[in-house]
Amino acid sequence: MLPVFAVLCLLGAIEHFGVDIQLAQWMFHLEGGVNTWGLRHWWFTDGVLHTGGRNLVGLMGLVLLLALAASHFRQSLKPYRRGFYYLFLCVLSSVMLVRMGKNLTNVSCPWDLLQFGGKFPYVPFPWSLSANDVGGQCFPGGHSSGAFAWICLYYFAAVYFPQHRQRVLLSVLTVGLVFSLCQEFRGAHFLSHDLWSLLLSWTLASLLFFVFFPAKVRRQLAD
């Protein structure tokens, strides 16, 4: 759980030093923003990275469901069935937890804030829970969670394809980083929003790994 602790420390530093607002202001002015985010509706960030990325995640989910179903009929896939169930539960739980968080935390997107042309004051989580003059569903980061939810592929690869687990982890983190930067440059999220999505997904993947796979398998991975 060392990565979880590292992300928590990073989130604490971001909050203490006000990195969210400073980074967002830098991005906003870099785009030439005065009352709006210049890249919010750009075809590449909005169409390719946001809409296209969402479609990619949906396609991956469909492939996983097909693989899970096929594992009940094809002998070649039967050894991976437990892993497919693990992936399914991890991805579903991560996405649902982030969705629930967005509905409950009452955090506005950067593009809705006064300093970026919006109408709401900046109130970060957890103070947003008791705030009355804000409104939003922007925490944690939803788009990046679509990528970070697949961080469970690291554990899946560690069990079935251990020689590839580092490459798998790097691939998932890279896609998550791209999705995060896309939304941050569009004004949809702060850096901490996406880090919280990563934290939740990694924590769930780690906990469910202990549930799905016996101690013998976990010890082999540690050796």
DSSP string for 27-85: HHHHTT-SSS-TTTT-IIIIIIIIIIHHHHHHHHHHHHHHHHHHTTT-GGGGGGHHHHH
- Residue 131: per-residue pLDDT: 74
Residue 113 dihedral angles phi and psi, to the nearest 5° = -90, 150
**Can you give the pLDDT at residue 193?**
97
Asked if 119 and 112 count as a contact pair (C-beta separation under 8 A), the reply is yes
- Residue 123 is predicted with a pLDDT of 85
184, 190 in Cβ contact below 8 A? yes
pLDDT of the residue at 1: 66
Q: Which pLDDT belongs to residue 3?
A: 78
DSSP 132: S
Find the domain containing 32 and state its range: 2-222
The pTM (predicted TM-score) of the whole model is 0.93
- Count how many domains the chain has: 1
Beta-carbon count within 10 A of 173 CB = 15
**Which pLDDT does position 180 carry in this prediction?**
98
Low pLDDT (below 50) residues in the chain:
none
Give the pLDDT of residue 217: 67
* pLDDT for 218: 64
Instruction: Give the Cα separation of 54 and 60 in Å (integer).
Output: 10
